[in-house]
Amino acid sequence: MQSTLSPPIGYLAGLLAILFTSSAALAACPLELAVYGDAESEAGIDFRPTVESAVVANTFKMVLDKGVVLDGIVMWTEGVARPHGSLMYRCPTGDVTGDELAACTVWEGVIYSSDEQGKIALLPAEGVDAPKTLIFPDLGPSLQMSAAYGENGFSKVPWDVFALKGCQE
């Protein structure tokens, strides 16, 4: 049987097939390999598999302009369980005190997610498909007040919302 699609219609059908295949592949990405981006500042988030840890549930890096990198972790709170995220800038390594950790933490808060229908949920654990969108409440204002911002740091303040851009291999 011969195809009756005109060349432009055939081209569009092929393009749609590629788009749907790409979005299906994106949906199958586990959170620990997900890559997110902010459209306004070009900031990005790359999740990493968390090394065996009793307290850290998720690990990620946030990359801002001018090569500024923030280290991120997520720990679930006790009682009313919430994914409490922390972003740190140039923290000392090794045995650090609570004061030293507080001094290098540039943002803290609950991390939320959103699906294709706009349903808001908490950030899922590793091993779960990456949500379409992540929400870091008050991220921009917190980062703008941090030591990472300014003349020797980043200059483009990200918004609070990051969209799923891809999956690391």
**Residue 112: inside a domain:** yes
Range of the domain at 80: 30-167
Positive or negative, the Cα torsion across 127, 133, 139, 140? positive
> How high is the pLDDT of residue 9?
36
Question: Is the residue at 16 inside a domain?
Answer: no
pLDDT digits (tens, 9 = 90+) for 51-105: 777 788 999 999 999 999 999 999 999 999 999 999 999 999 888 889 999 999 9
Quick one: pLDDT band at residue 24, thresholds 50, 70, 90? very low
Rounded to 5 degrees, φ, ψ at 152 are -100, 10
Residue 139 lies in a domain: yes
Whether residue 8 is contained in a domain is answered as no
Exposure of 13 by Cβ count < 10 A (0-12 exposed, 13-18 middle, 19+ buried)? exposed
- The Cβ of residue 156 has, within 10 Å, a number of other Cβ atoms equal to 14
The verdict on residue 51 lying in a domain is: yes
Is the pLDDT confidence value at 169 over 90?
Answer: no
- pLDDT tens digits, residue range 136-160? 999 999 999 999 999 889 999 999 9
The pLDDT > 90 percentage for the chain reads 67
Domain-located, residue 2: no
Determine, yes or no, domain membership for 9: no
How much helix, strand and coil, in percent to the nearest 5, is found in the chain? 25, 35, 45
163 inside domain: yes
Domains held by the chain: number: 1
Residues 4-19: tens digit of each pLDDT: 544 433 333 333 333 3
